[in-house]
Amino acid sequence: MVNMKNSTTTSGNGPIVKFHNCLILRNHELINDELWISGSNIIDPESLFYNEKILPDQVVDCKGAIISPGFIDVQLNGGFGVDFSYDVDTVNVGIMTVAKGILAHGVTSFCPTLVSSHPHVYTKVLPHLKRCVGGKHGAEVLGAHVEGPFINPEKKGAHDQATMQTFKNGMESIREVYQHIDSICMITLAPELPNAIKVCIELNEIGVIVSVGHSMANIAQGELAVNNGASFITHLFNAMLPFHHRDPGLVGLLGSENLPPGKIIYYGIIADGNHTHPSTTRIAYRSYPKGIVLVTDACSAMGLSNGVYHIGQQVIEVTGTKAFVQGTNTLAGSVATMVSCIQYFWATTKCTLVEALEAATLHPATLLKIEKHKGTLAFGSDADFVFLKPNTLDVISTWIGGQCVYQNDKFDELITTSENCSVSKKKSSNS
C-alpha cells in the first residue's frame, strides 16, 4: 500500500484544498476538472498527488458550479455612495467601501478610476491608490486609472472642462499634474494633443499603460499612438468621433493593418445596454473579439437607488439604469456591476461563455501585463476565483488568495461551505 502524506507537513505555502464536481475555465475552455490550491496559489495536482503522494487537507464539493478566474475591472469610478474623485478627504474609507462591495459581484481586482480633476485632487488621492493586496477587506487594488485631464474638451463627456490640461511641457506636465506617478497603472489621453506621442513613448518606458480616449483623433493619429506604446481604447464608441466610412477614427483601430505585427489593441466596452446599442456591441465583438475588455465605468450610484450623486465635481442624476450629468442628456458613467456586464454581453452577442468570461478576466489581465498571476486558473497563478451558477452566471462565492471573501446566502445548496469560507454572508439582494 502506498503511504499518502499529510500536506501540512510537506506543502509550500499553506493547506491544500481540492475543489471537485465543477466546470473550470482553463486554457480557453470550460472543462470538467478539479481545482487544487495551496494557500494563495493554484497548484498542479498531478505532480503533488502522483509524485509526492500528498492528499489534500480539505475537499470541497462544488455541486456543478462554474469556477472562473476572478473578474478584473480596469475602469471603476466608485460605487456604494463613493466617488474616488470627489470624496478626496475620505478616500481611505471610500476605497475600502468599494473594494468590499464589489466582492459580491465577482470582482477580485480593479483599477480605481479618477475622472479629470484639478492637480490638488491627484495630490491627495493618488497616494492612497497604490497597488494593494486584496483579501477579506476587499478586492485587490491594481493602481489608479487616471482618465484625463489630458483629453480633448470637444469630447469631454461628463468631465469638467475647467480641469482640462495640455502636454505643454511634455512628460513634465504629467509629473506636475499627477505628482504621484508611481500610483498610476493606466492613463487615458487624447493622442491628437500636441506632444502626446512623445508622452506615450515615455509612459510606455516606465510601465504605465496608455489608453486613447475622450478624443477627436482620426485613424492616422490613433495608429501613431498605438505604434508608440498605446494599447487600449477607453470605452469604445463613447467620447470619440463616430465611425465614418472614409475615416473611422479610433474605432477604425480594430481593423487597422498599420499596427505593430502581432500587437493586440484592447478596447473597453460598457456592456450595460445604455452606452452602446446592442448591434454596436455585436459589431465590435465580431470584428475584433480578442481585444474586448468589459468595464463597468461605474459611478458612485452603483449598488444604490435613484437619486443625485457626484462623478468628480459634476452633479449627476440617476434614474433606473442610467446616470446623466444633471440637467443634460450626457451619460455620466454607469450603475452596472461587472457580473451584470458579463451577463448582458453574453446574451447580446451570443458569444461563447468562455469568451464572455475571458473579456472580464484574461483580457484585462493581459492588457495590464499581469496575466501570469491574474485572470487565469493556470498552475502557479494567484488563487483568485469566483463560483458562478451555471446558465445564469449569478455569483455564488468569491475567493481571493485562496480565502472565501464573499458568499451569497441564496446559493448555499450549490456549494459545501469550506472552513476557509468564514466571512459573514451578505444578502442575495446585493448580487
Task: Tell me whether residue 26 is annotated as binding.
Answer: no
Residue-wise pLDDT for 277-301, tens only, equals 999 999 999 999 999 999 999 999 9
Q: Is residue 5 pLDDT above 70, yes or no? A: no
For cell 446585493, what's the residue? 430
What per-residue confidence (pLDDT) applies to 421? 45
Q: Where in the chain is the domain with CATH 3.20.20.140?
A: 71-367
What is the overall mean pLDDT for the chain? 92
Hey, how many other C-beta atoms are within 10 angstroms of the C-beta on 14? 19
Q: Calculate mean pLDDT across residues 113-124.
A: 98
What does the chain come to in residues? 431
- What is the structure's pLDDT at 4? 44
Q: Which range among 36-40, 247-251, 423-427 shows the weakest confidence by mean pLDDT?
A: 423-427
Q: List, for residues 241-272, the tens digit of each pLDDT value.
A: 999 999 999 999 999 999 999 999 999 999 99
Q: Which residues pair with 32 in a beta bridge?
A: 23
Looking at the predicted structure, is the pLDDT value of residue 425 above 60?
Answer: no
Which is nearest to 22 in space by CA: 430, 422, 307, 416?
A: 416
Is 331 annotated in a binding site? The answer is: yes
Assigned CATH for 71-367: 3.20.20.140
The rounded distance, in Å, linking the Cα atoms of 358 and 134 is 21
Catalytic residues: 297
Rounded-to-integer distance, Cα 146 and Cα 114, Å: 5
- The domain over range 5-69+377-430 is classified in CATH as 2.30.40.10: yes
Of all residues in the chain, what percent carry a pLDDT higher than 70?
A: 92
Q: 332 labelled as ligand-binding?
A: yes
Q: What is the mean pLDDT of residues 287-316?
A: 96
What dihedral do alpha carbons 315, 317, 318, 322 form, nearest 10°?
Answer: -90
Task: Report pLDDT for 408.
Answer: 94
Decide: 300 and 323 in contact? Cβ < 8 Å: no
Q: What does the pLDDT average to over 220-249?
A: 98
Residue at 25: amino acid letter = L
Amino acid at site 304: L
| Torsion, CA 297, CA 177, CA 108, CA 92, rounded to 10 | -110
- Per DSSP, the residues of 189-237 read E-TTSTTHHHHHHHHHHTT-EEEE-SB---HHHHHHHHTTTEEEETTTT
- What pTM did the predictor assign? 0.93
Q: Is 282 annotated as a binding residue?
A: no
Sign of CA dihedral 34, 25, 369, 156: negative
Task: Give 268's DSSP letter.
Answer: E
Provide CATH 2.30.40.10 ranges for the chain. Answer: 5-69+377-430
Mean pLDDT along residues 181-209: 98
In the chain, % of residues over pLDDT 90: 88
Summarize the confidence of residues 108-122 as an average pLDDT: 98
Statement: residue 420 has pLDDT above 80: no
3-state secondary structure of 104: helix
Q: Per-residue pLDDT for 75 more than 90?
A: yes
Of 300, 287, 377, the C-alpha closest to 113 is 300
Helices (H) and strands (E) in the chain, counts: 10, 24
Using 50, 70 and 90 to split pLDDT, how confident is the model at 402? very high
Q: What is the pLDDT of residue 388?
A: 97
Taking CA atoms, 359 is separated from 289, 334, 336, in Å, by: 9, 18, 16
